Amino acid sequence: MSALVLDGVAVELGGRRVLDGVDLAVARGELVGLIGPNGAGKTTLLRTTLGLVRPSAGRVEVDGRPARPGRAPIGYVPQRHEFAWDFPASVAGVVMTGLTRQVGLGRQPRRRHWEAVAEALDRVRMRELAERPVGQLSGGQRQRVLVARALVQRPAVLLLDEPFTGLDLPTQELLSELFTGLAREGRAVLMTTHDLLGALDTCDRIALLQRRVVATGTPAELAASPQAWMDTFGVGPDSALLRVLVRVLEAA
């Protein structure tokens, strides 16, 4: 059974159809890249999966149950600019916010909660910076803190919204290895990204989104479908982007 299922999902925001009949499933052990141009509905799809946006049609299930805010076993890594990095908190304190529901409002974390924080920081190689104020971190370190905050819940499904934006190559490679490893451990990982070449190299499967899933398949399978790329990105057959992508896919 797939850990994450979107079946005929449609979303309307401000009277505009943002998603239109999205069908997508992500299995445990799979890293799927969600690719599409700006405005294609990628972030809306993630927010709908989290239960933060209610679909006008269709269903979203996580581990066979309807997605509900704060109740589904989902870890979410937002885009870095969405977090208030001037907030006076330590690295460990920020990661602990991922356990707010488990700890309870107004209650002190217990030993098991701090052990989960330490484990999550180990996964992103940040444990030695646990007490550092988050405002003093580099961009790559901040992204790793957000990943740890998502992992501290030990989620079955991990959603990543543009995790590589603005990061240097070593940090991108570190995170790519981490995301691949998390999938191999049995999590379902869905990642939006504009790094097309990186996604083609790292992901088990690619889903092309343009309000709906235009096509999905392995990089090799998508090499045989240039029309899907044209439909997704609105480019012609002579597009330089299409020529580069096809060459990369055919070489994979």
Q: Residues 73-128: pLDDT tens digits? A: 799 999 887 788 888 899 999 999 988 888 877 788 889 999 999 999 999 999 99
- Is residue 242 in a domain? no
- Distance (Å, whole) CA 203 – CA 106: 40
- Is residue 230 in a domain? no
Quick one: which of 215, 211, 222, 212 has its CA closest to 245?
A: 222
> Is the same domain home to 137 and 190?
no
Last residue of one domain, picked from the residues 131, 154, 177: 154
pLDDT confidence of residue 170: 87
- Is residue 250 in a domain? no
- Is residue 237 in a domain? no
Classify residue 85 by its DSSP letter.
T
| Residue 15 clears pLDDT 80, i.e. is over it | yes
> Is the same domain home to 137 and 178?
no
> Is the same domain home to 2 and 62?
yes
> Is the same domain home to 126 and 28?
no
- Distance (Å, whole) CA 165 – CA 4: 25
- Is residue 131 in a domain? yes
- The domain that holds 63 is classified in CATH as 3.40.50.300
> Is the same domain home to 109 and 207?
no
Distance of CA 210 to the CA centre of its chain: 17
> Is the same domain home to 69 and 159?
yes
pLDDT confidence of residue 249: 66
Q: Which pairing describes strands 74-77 and 157-161: parallel, antiparallel, or unpaired?
A: parallel
CA 127-132-133 angle, to 5 degrees, is 135
Quick one: which of 69, 71, 70, 45 has its CA closest to 58?
A: 45
Span 141-195, pLDDT tens digits: 999 999 999 999 899 999 999 999 888 888 889 899 999 999 999 999 999 998 8
Single pTM value for the model: 0.91
pLDDT confidence of residue 252: 62
- Distance (Å, whole) CA 23 – CA 214: 10
Q: Is residue 41 classed as helix, strand or coil in its secondary structure?
A: coil
> Is the same domain home to 56 and 160?
yes
- Tokens representing 140? 């790559």
Q: Which residues on neighbouring strands pair with residue 191, listed in sequence order? A: 33, 160
> Is the same domain home to 50 and 95?
no
- Is residue 185 in a domain? yes
Last residue of one domain, picked from the residues 121, 154, 187: 154
Write out the E strands in the chain.
4-13, 16-26, 30-35, 57-62, 65-66, 74-77, 157-161, 188-192, 205-209, 213-217
- The band of 7, judged by pLDDT with boundaries at 50, 70 and 90, is very high
| Residue 130 clears pLDDT 90, i.e. is over it | yes
Q: Which residues on neighbouring strands pair with residue 66, listed in sequence order? A: 61
- Is residue 95 in a domain? yes
Q: What is the mean pLDDT of the chain?
A: 89
> Is the same domain home to 159 and 68?
yes
> Is the same domain home to 55 and 31?
yes
- The band of 197, judged by pLDDT with boundaries at 50, 70 and 90, is confident
Last residue of one domain, picked from the residues 125, 154, 183: 154
> Is the same domain home to 120 and 138?
yes
Quick one: which of 62, 60, 64, 32 has its CA closest to 179?
A: 32
Domain count, the chain: 2
- Is residue 78 in a domain? no
- Distance (Å, whole) CA 19 – CA 6: 11
CA atoms within 13 A on the CB side of 34: 29
Domain that holds residue 140: 88-154
> Is the same domain home to 65 and 169?
yes
